[in-house]
Amino acid sequence: MNCQKVLQYLEDKIDMDHLDMVEKTIEDALSYKKVDFIPLSVTFPQTEFQALPYVEAFNDMESMFYNELVSCINTVCVKDYSLLVARSNYGVGTLPSLFGLKSRVVQSTNLPWVDHVELNEIKNIISKGVPDLDTGFGKRIIETYEYYREQLSHYEKCNESIKLYHPDLQGPFDVAHLMWGADIYMAMYDSPGLVHELLSLVTETYIEYMKMIKPYLNDERGNDYSYHWGTLYRGKIVLRNDSAVNVSKGMYQEFIQPYDERILEEFGSGSIHFCGRADQIVVDMAYTKGNEAMNFGYMDNVQFGEEYLNLLKKPFMEKNIPIINYHLTQEEYKNYKNTFDTGITLKTSVDTYEEAVSILRK
């Protein structure tokens, strides 16, 4: 593991003109402007550098930086429509850690999980209000970004093109779910007032912590876009709503949407992500005040493809809500019928470098 070797490799390979073109094309696509080619990110198993097991990155910021840099290799090799980014990556437990909750790596190659607490501790957390933001991962995340910035400063093109983007703060309901566990779903019926108190606290903590770390990032592109997950997103933050897929439309509107809107209002605008499908709330979520784009995490056991795009097309196009890095299998991409010919960026994965080059020439 040698960050300098990866940095020098990237420095030699980065094509600034290509990255400028990619940014402009993505901006046009996300603004529903006509594009000659729908931006496509292609992943393939590169062999130049191998990522370390996540558990090593979790315990050592140099190893974490190495893994973040390795994730940029595909982009400079194949010159697809991805961008170069890095983040302080301590997982979904970042915000819960500020309240004293612990994260643990269950499997060495997987991101960590959070050990939730029981009802009495939830009440205790609420009674204390917004926590000390230097506790848990709070200070460590800032130190990690400072380390990244110092390392990047010795490589001109890397320093300019590798954007440091905000860590995974999830969204208010996701954080509350991580803290309380599955019992929060029953509490939405049995103790709705307490759930709202927790969500209010998490929302204010999210806002305060995001404001604290923003000066250490360079993830904003003007007022309308931000760098995140290897591409551009609309707005200045990306909220996660994975836990929301389990709730009804009415519960979503009561317990989730208002708190998302509070955060989006504070930062001007943003985008929303969730994994899988949530057909019962996806349009409501897309129409959240302050939301300007959607991203859907791909899952092998869920039907996506153009079938899902056909479901989304009318409501999304009516409000010019773009879809970011929509995953298509290699076969689905080859047969893509341009359900969206703009207002979307795409993502696929292939087995070899040669296949990646070929698919980009479609």
- Whole-number pLDDT of residue 154: 97
End-to-end, the C-alpha distance of the chain in Å comes to: 36
Name the pairing type of β-strands 323-327 and 344-349.
parallel
Which residue shows structure tokens 């990244």? 148
pLDDT band at 300 (very low <50, low <70, confident <90, very high): confident
- d(CA 61, CA 52) in angstroms, rounded, equals 12
How many other CB atoms sit within 10 Å of the CB of residue 145? 22
Q: How many separate helices (H) and strands (E) can be counted in the chain? A: 18, 13
Q: Which segment of 221-225, 268-272, 284-288 scores lowest on mean pLDDT?
A: 221-225
For CA atoms 124, 128, 130, 134, the dihedral sign is negative
Cβ neighbours of residue 120 closer than 8 Å, sequence gap 6 or more = none
Distance from C-alpha of 35 to C-alpha of 31, rounded to nearest angstrom: 10
d(CA 90, CA 98): 13
pLDDT at 263 (0 to 100) = 98
pTM of the model: 0.95
Question: What is the structure's pLDDT at 303?
Answer: 80
User: By percentage, how much of the chain surpasses pLDDT 70?
Assistant: 99
Q: Rounded mean pLDDT of the chain?
A: 96
